[in-house]
Copies of this chain bind each other. A is one copy, B any other.
Amino acid sequence: MLRLSTKGQYGVRAMFEIAKGYPEPVTIKEISEKQNVSMAYLEQILNKLRKSDLIISKKGPGGGYVLNKNPQEISIAAILNELEGPVAITSCLDPSEGCVRVDNCVTHLLWKVLGEQISAFLNTITLKNLLTGDLLEVPAGQSVRATKSKA
């Protein structure tokens, strides 16, 4: 459950390749070869990311894609938001849809909090973290909800 689509997965991997080359342009062909994703499919993905100003494109020989910010300023959340929309565990919680039941829905708050936790997590991880691999430093035992405080 809670699968990410290939667009999101490939998108992050593509951004990783572009981050590796930063600040030099990286071509679709290179990304395609290194990440083993078809050029045509990558085009669609990078197109979206370009329109949201996460990357800049340069045409012609020597061209390619370049990050529009430093790797540490681009979060995984930002990438996925562009490619898959905001985290929305239920359609209810998608800002573009809206909830009919709302008040009498016991699970509404549950999914809302879960979504917020996921977003918070993805916001703290940047391309820099992927480059240096320091994701490993997340304490294994740390729970999202280790303690419960009174409201």
User: Could you tell me which A residues sit within 8 Å of B by CB distance?
Assistant: 1-5, 8-9, 12-13, 16, 76, 80, 83-91, 105-107, 109-111, 113-115, 117-118, 120-122, 124-125, 130, 133-139, 142-145, 148-151
Which residues of chain B are within 8 angstroms of A150 by Cβ–Cβ distance? 137
Q: Across chains A and B, which 7 residue pairs bring their CB atoms closest together, nearest first?
A: A1-B84, A121-B144, A124-B145, A120-B143, A2-B2, A139-B149, A137-B151
B137:A1 contact, CB within 8 angstroms: no
Chain B residue numbers with a CB within 8 Å of A133 are 106, 109
Of B1, B87, B138, B145, the residue contacting A121 (CB under 8 A) is: B145
Return chain B residues, CB-CB under 8 Å to A111: 4, 9
Closest-by-CB residue of B relative to A112 is B135
Q: Specify which of A1, A86, A122, A133 lies most central, judged by the most chain B CB atoms within 10 Å of its CB.
A: A1
B110 and A130 within 8 A (CB): yes
